[in-house]
Structure 1
Amino acid sequence: MHTAKDKARLMARIRRIKGQAEALERALENEVGCAEVLMLVASMRGAVNGLTAEVMEDHIRHHIVDPANDNSSQARGAAELIDVLRTYIK
């Protein structure tokens, strides 16, 4: 499984998200301003979206077709899909 192969990298992302969630929790407990809370939420959202994009891209490359190793029309379509996902999920 590609997630097992990339486990260390994915776990590092999860730990960063966990740290961001803990910072958000502390901010709420300390009743910081809403602008700071919104910034923390936005950073968490970006981190989760980045993780989602990475897992989806790896899924396409490992279970459908890897554009780096194939020159077929399906591979070109997969490359386009990966680009669209990266843009959409940002």
Structure 2
Amino acid sequence: MSHTIQDKPKLMARVRRIQGQAAALEKQLQNETDCGAILQQIAAIRGAVNGLLGAVIEGHITHHLVLEPDEAQRRDDLDVVLQVIRSYVK
């Protein structure tokens, strides 16, 4: 079973919070809210996305690299994580 299925309720809660934060940002922009508050909201969204990414990466490493008995599959799964990290830090 995939770790994202096992952790689905927690991950979905994070996604819903991000959606709420994005909706709040949209409302702030529509209402021409002070740029300081908008910047703070963007930073909060970024933090929430980073938290979601961290949770999924942690689960991936644990379930697909640490617990995976097949070495070839572990290498493939490692490549997935490395690709995501490379694209994230660009």
Same fold (TM over 0.5): yes
**What is the TM-score of this pair, normalised by structure 1?**
0.72
| Counterpart-to-counterpart distance in 1, 2:9 and 2:54 | 17
Residues in 2 aligned to 1:13 and 1:57: alpha-carbon distance in whole angstroms:
15
Report how far residue 16 of structure 1 moved.
Answer: 0.3
Give the structure 2 partner of residue 61 of structure 1: 62
Aligned mates of 1:7, 1:50 — CA distance in 2: 15
2:7 corresponds to which residue?
6
Deviations 1:59-80 (A, max 9, x none): 00000005xxxxxxxxxxxxxx
- Percent identity, aligned pairs only, is 54
Deviation above 2 Å: which 4+ runs of structure 1? Answer: none
Looking at structure 2, the residues matched to 29 and 47 of structure 1 have their Cα atoms a distance apart, in angstroms, of: 22
User: Is residue 33 of structure 1 aligned with residue 49 of structure 2?
Assistant: no
Q: Cα offset for 1:2?
A: 0.6
> Aligned pair count?
68
TM-score by length of structure 2 reads: 0.72
Kindly indicate whether residue 19 of structure 2 is the aligned counterpart of residue 18 of structure 1: yes
CA RMSD, aligned part only?
Answer: 1.6
Where does structure 2 lack aligned partners over 5 or more consecutive residues? Answer: 68-84
Mark the runs of 5 or more structure 1 residues left unpaired by the alignment: 67-84
User: Where in structure 2 are the equivalents of 1:48-87 lying within 5 Å?
Assistant: 48-65=49-66
For residues 6-39 of structure 1, give each alpha carbon's deviation from its aligned partner in whole angstroms, at most 9, with x where no partner exists: 1000000000000000000000000001100000
Secondary structure of the residue that 1:46 maps to in structure 2? helix
